[in-house]
Chain A
Amino acid sequence: MELCGATRLGYFGRSQFYIALKLVAVAQSGFPLRVESINTVKDLPLPRFVASKNEQESRHAASYSSDSENQGSYSGVIPPPPGRGQVKKGSVSHDTVQSRTSTDQQEPASPVVSPQQSPPASPHTWRKHNRHPSGGNGERPLAGPGPFWSPFGDAQSGSAAGDAMWSGHSPPPPQENWVSFADTPPTSTLLTMHPASVQDQTTVRTVASATTANEIRRQSSSYDDPWKITDEQRQYYVNQFKTIQPDLNGFIPGSAAKEFFTKSKLPILELSHIWELSDFDKDGALTLDEFCAAFHLVVARKNGYDLPEKLPESLMPKLIDLEDSADVGDQTGEVGYSGSPAEAPPSKSPSMPSLNQTWPEMNQSSEQWETFSERSSSSQTLTQFDSNIAPADPDTAIVHPVPIRMTPSKIHMQEMELKRTGSDHTNPTSPLLVKTSDLSEENKINSSVKFASGNTVADGYSSSDSFTSDPEQIGNNVTRQRSHSGTSPDNTAPPPPPPRPQPSHSRSSSLDMNRTFTVTTDFYVHTGQQQAGVVAHPPAVPPRPQPSQAPGPTVHRPVDAEGMITHTSTSPQQIPEQPNFADFSQFEVFAASNVNEEQDDEAEKHPEVLPVEKASDPASSLRVAKTDSKIEEKTAASAPANVGKGTTPLAPPPKPVRRRLKSEDELRPEVDEHTQKTGVLAGVLASQPSIPRSVGKDKKAIQASIRRNKETNTVLARLNSELQQQLKDVLEERISLEVQLEQLRPFSHL
């Protein structure tokens, strides 16, 4: 300033402006700033001006210079409209005001330019400006002619200190000036911030020192995140929010918000833009977070900051749906991640880094799900999703994915859910399970739907068991279902919940046993009324007590589940089955103890199991339904195989055991095959025989049935895996065909 003699004149006249420009050019070209240099270096390259930056810089310059120069006029800046009309190239005294107002003016005048840079960029340029001592002063007057701003910063890649200080400059003004919204002249506050720079315009040194001092101070406040809301700011916003809406968790309707923000006297266009930015969920109302963001933007705008194109990360309302974090990631890099997560507690930036910091435990738990992240497009989304779910007990029923306003996330959530269900059961094929269930549905098995849902539920109850899939059993189940339909007394049609037969069968274990035995032999012949009856038990629920008896809790469990699923509708029947089913689920818990109970203990178990089974019943029933549907699917494919297999599991000596086995068989095919599980089942089955039987003669029968069931399990599991593989292949083919179709289609018109 002094160099160009503007100070003497007291305003930035034309000549002074030219001199200042020359100084800028000198500075940019790296020449020392001297009065003589202006004359000596005649052929200076024209100072480079970057309009957008200039506006930012000018705005900042204005903000700072106004602080320094026009403390009194600062209040004039608060209501921007008055200053609007002023010419950019005005007197210095008005420059600051004008710069502020001009920025506002420029907003509508040059909308293309102003929004280009968010404030973070401007501090950067500011830094460069201020590095140049005289340039700093010169900048102030230059603030007026915004477009002429040369990238002072570009030329002056000067001291980092200067840069740092300047970067610090930008945040403080908004923080300081936020009070101005209430029309309180913040000049005093500004003065405190810019004491030195305010006063000294004449001496470069003074200004430099002042600016440096200020810059240092500024920098310390918030280096990378000028959009961060300080605590006191936030408190102020919250108080304002309360005046409109006493409930902090409530919304401010759009009309009320409109009134409130209109008081800021910003142009409607800008208010509209602020609203666009801050109403994150586009619901026409502002939550507390949204309101604070909007308020902060208004304050920033009033202080001369350009509105960003995207909502800064620190202003992003922390929504429950973590998808926002993905959006945050897209935020302009200018809004650094550095400070926000750790610093501003109120600013809940959903950025991934902050998430990782704030939810370390979540991340740990999310690691479990990381394997599934491969499926989701954004691991960030996945992680956050996990954090949402992590608190839930993974072993419990699948958390119903109800994402909050995240449509894309729904996909992830569903994927996650599938994954979770899979993870629960260590069954990566759980999604496949769902698919298979879909297929089964196509096969007109109503239960399949239930099964799908039941799968998820069942997963919680009997993680490993449900997914055992034996091809044999699948076939058995299918046949059983069909037989069920035939055997009305025993069980109603398999697809619809087979009510009655189950309990009756379970009760009359002896009869059932006989039937089961015979049925097993004729399993696939569909003669099995008995078989159906037996089968009905498993599908319906009766298998429950049997499962306990049956070898291997795991084996039984799926069987029970299957039985239960099919017979879900018939609650009375299912009740006895449920106990069985519960036994299944708790089979592993009870280990061998349940195995022996078989028939005799069924009654005993029923009361015990009932409560348990009822919980697991729906799941198991669903699963059973699904497995049944699957069974039907697979039976078609592997009917002959199933026939062979069906016979094997059907030989539980005790009737309940038989029933259980059958239910197992039914369940197994339905369940996603899991060779591991079959192995587990086999192991369990093996352990079963070791369990002492209360009924002596049942022991052998049970063991035999256990063996049979194991075999059936393995076969069905194999079949299941094969079918799933086929399903995958078919889906892939379908996808490829669709792609080909897409490719061919454009050419059809030519």
Chain B
Amino acid sequence: MAVCVAVIAKENYPLYIRSVPTENELKFHYMVHTSLDVVDEKISAMGKALVDQRELYLGLLYPTEDYKKRYGYVTNSKVKFVMVVDSSNTALRDNEIRSMFRKLHNSYTDVMCNPFYNPGDRIQSSRAFDSMVTSMMIQVC
């Protein structure tokens, strides 16, 4: 169950960020921000395979907290998806995370297809995207 989902543009500014409004969301924002560094690190690391479709890295920060692992995902256009998951109840399998990112990616491309959406704008118009993210955040793993 994702507690926070963020879409970061190529220039590392957020296009979309949404959290489960339980705790102070600022913390989530901060986590996402810090994870960007790690994402960039990984991007630059793999030079040959341009962009790995899916890079998962567990427990990036906050190792003390037993949950809230962060996962990253980078598209071919350097758009990053960062997801903070709460795995206290169940450990999310790798495949599940991948499928969640895949869904995110699909919804993102649908948003892109909308000619009224300018790339680089905040994703605020797509209700389908919102609903998809909501479903991900509500889903019980």
Complex CA gap A282/B90 in Å reads 34
Contact of A272 with B113 at beta-carbon distance under 8 Å, contacts A745-B93, A746-B90, A749-B91 already known: no
Inter-chain contact B90/A272, CB cutoff 8 Å: no
Inter-chain contact B91/A271, CB cutoff 8 Å: no
B residues less than 8 Å from A30 (CB atoms): none
Interface assignment of A254: CB less than 8 Å from any CB of chain B: yes
Among A254, A309, A748, point to the contact of B113 (Cβ < 8 A): A254
Complex CA gap A271/B117 in Å reads 10
Inter-chain contact A282/B116, CB cutoff 8 Å: no
Interface assignment of B115: CB less than 8 Å from any CB of chain A: yes
Interface-central residue, A254, A272, A275, A282, by most chain B CB under 10 Å: A272
Shortest distance between the CB of B15 and any CB in chain A (Å) = 14
Inter-chain contact A269/B125, CB cutoff 8 Å: yes
Inter-chain contact A255/B125, CB cutoff 8 Å: no
Inter-chain contact A275/B93, CB cutoff 8 Å: no
Among B110, B115, B117, B125, point to the contact of A282 (Cβ < 8 A): B110
Interface residues of A in 94-141 (CB under 8 A from B): 115
Interface assignment of B58: CB less than 8 Å from any CB of chain A: no
B residues less than 8 Å from A115 (CB atoms): 127
Inter-chain contact A746/B125, CB cutoff 8 Å: no
Nearest B residue to A286, CB-CB? B115
Inter-chain contact A272/B116, CB cutoff 8 Å: yes
Inter-chain contact A276/B114, CB cutoff 8 Å: yes
A residues less than 8 Å from B90 (CB atoms): 746, 749
Interface assignment of A25: CB less than 8 Å from any CB of chain B: no
Nearest B residue to A750, CB-CB? B91
Complex interface bits, B75-102 against A, C-beta within 8 A gives 1, otherwise 0: 0000000000000001101000000000
Interface assignment of A279: CB less than 8 Å from any CB of chain B: yes
A residues less than 8 Å from B93 (CB atoms): 745
Inter-chain contact A276/B91, CB cutoff 8 Å: no
Among B91, B116, B124, point to the contact of A275 (Cβ < 8 A): B116
Interface assignment of A284: CB less than 8 Å from any CB of chain B: yes
Complex CA gap A749/B115 in Å reads 46
Complex CA gap A258/B118 in Å reads 11
Shortest distance between the CB of A43 and any CB in chain B (Å) = 40
Interface-central residue, B90, B93, B116, B128, by most chain A CB under 10 Å: B116
Complex interface bits, B33-47 against A, C-beta within 8 A gives 1, otherwise 0: 000000000000000
Interface residues of B in 108-141 (CB under 8 A from A): 110, 113-117, 124-128
Inter-chain contact B127/A275, CB cutoff 8 Å: no
Among B115, B124, B127, point to the contact of A284 (Cβ < 8 A): B115
A residues less than 8 Å from B115 (CB atoms): 254-255, 257-258, 275, 284
Complex CA gap A269/B123 in Å reads 10
Complex CA gap A269/B117 in Å reads 9
Inter-chain contact A272/B91, CB cutoff 8 Å: no
Interface assignment of A273: CB less than 8 Å from any CB of chain B: yes
Contact of A272 with B117 at beta-carbon distance under 8 Å, contacts A745-B93, A746-B91, A749-B91 already known: yes
B residues less than 8 Å from A271 (CB atoms): 116
Interface assignment of A283: CB less than 8 Å from any CB of chain B: yes
Complex CA gap A164/B52 in Å reads 59
A residues less than 8 Å from B125 (CB atoms): 268-269, 272-273, 276
Contact of A276 with B124 at beta-carbon distance under 8 Å, contacts A254-B114, A283-B113, A745-B93 already known: no
Contact of A279 with B116 at beta-carbon distance under 8 Å, contacts A272-B126, A745-B93 already known: no
Nearest A residue to B110, CB-CB? A282
B residues less than 8 Å from A275 (CB atoms): 114-116
Complex CA gap A115/B125 in Å reads 13
Nearest B residue to A262, CB-CB? B116
Shortest distance between the CB of A107 and any CB in chain B (Å) = 12
Inter-chain contact B127/A279, CB cutoff 8 Å: no
Nearest B residue to A115, CB-CB? B127
Inter-chain contact B113/A279, CB cutoff 8 Å: yes
Complex CA gap A748/B126 in Å reads 39
Complex CA gap A737/B24 in Å reads 42
Complex CA gap A261/B115 in Å reads 11
Complex CA gap A746/B115 in Å reads 43
Inter-chain contact A284/B91, CB cutoff 8 Å: no
B residues less than 8 Å from A258 (CB atoms): 115-116
Shortest distance between the CB of A412 and any CB in chain B (Å) = 20
A residues less than 8 Å from B110 (CB atoms): 276, 282
Interface residues of A in 267-299 (CB under 8 A from B): 268-269, 271-273, 275-276, 279, 282-284
Shortest distance between the CB of A593 and any CB in chain B (Å) = 60
Complex CA gap A284/B109 in Å reads 10
Inter-chain contact B124/A273, CB cutoff 8 Å: no
Complex CA gap A271/B118 in Å reads 13
A residues less than 8 Å from B128 (CB atoms): 276
A residues less than 8 Å from B116 (CB atoms): 258, 261, 268, 271-272, 275
Complex CA gap A745/B127 in Å reads 35
Shortest distance between the CB of A253 and any CB in chain B (Å) = 8
A residues less than 8 Å from B114 (CB atoms): 254, 272, 275-276, 279, 284
B residues less than 8 Å from A276 (CB atoms): 110, 114, 125-128
B residues less than 8 Å from A268 (CB atoms): 116, 125
A residues less than 8 Å from B127 (CB atoms): 115, 273, 276, 309
Complex CA gap A117/B103 in Å reads 28
Complex interface bits, A405-447 against B, C-beta within 8 A gives 1, otherwise 0: 0000000000000000000000000000000000000000000
Shortest distance between the CB of B10 and any CB in chain A (Å) = 20
Complex CA gap A746/B127 in Å reads 33
Nearest A residue to B87, CB-CB? A749
Complex CA gap A583/B124 in Å reads 67
Contact of A284 with B117 at beta-carbon distance under 8 Å, contacts A276-B126, A309-B127 already known: no
Complex CA gap A710/B105 in Å reads 58
Complex CA gap A589/B16 in Å reads 68
Shortest distance between the CB of B130 and any CB in chain A (Å) = 11
Complex interface bits, A712-750 against B, C-beta within 8 A gives 1, otherwise 0: 000000000000000000000000000000000110110
Complex CA gap A466/B35 in Å reads 60
Complex CA gap A87/B27 in Å reads 39
B residues less than 8 Å from A254 (CB atoms): 113-115
Shortest distance between the CB of A284 and any CB in chain B (Å) = 4
B residues less than 8 Å from A284 (CB atoms): 113-115
Complex interface bits, A571-592 against B, C-beta within 8 A gives 1, otherwise 0: 0000000000000000000000
Shortest distance between the CB of A327 and any CB in chain B (Å) = 13
Complex CA gap A284/B114 in Å reads 6
B residues less than 8 Å from A272 (CB atoms): 114, 116-117, 125-126
B residues less than 8 Å from A748 (CB atoms): 91
Shortest distance between the CB of A748 and any CB in chain B (Å) = 8
Complex CA gap A283/B110 in Å reads 8
Complex CA gap A273/B131 in Å reads 13
Nearest A residue to B106, CB-CB? A282
B residues less than 8 Å from A257 (CB atoms): 115
Complex CA gap A25/B99 in Å reads 52
Shortest distance between the CB of A633 and any CB in chain B (Å) = 32
Interface residues of A in 685-718 (CB under 8 A from B): none
Given A269-B124, A282-B113, A746-B91, 13 extra CB contacts under 8 A: A115-B127, A254-B113, A254-B114, A268-B116, A271-B116, A273-B126, A275-B114, A276-B114, A276-B127, A282-B110, A283-B113, A745-B93, A748-B91
Question: Could you list 13 A-B pairs, sorted by A, with CB under 8 Å?
Answer: A258-B116, A261-B116, A268-B116, A268-B125, A272-B126, A273-B125, A275-B116, A276-B110, A276-B125, A276-B127, A282-B110, A282-B113, A745-B93
- Give the 8 A-B residue pairs with the shortest CB-CB distance, closest first: A254-B115, A272-B125, A258-B115, A272-B116, A284-B113, A749-B91, A271-B116, A746-B90
Using a CB–CB distance below 8 Å, which chain B residues touch chain A? 90-91, 93, 110, 113-117, 124-128
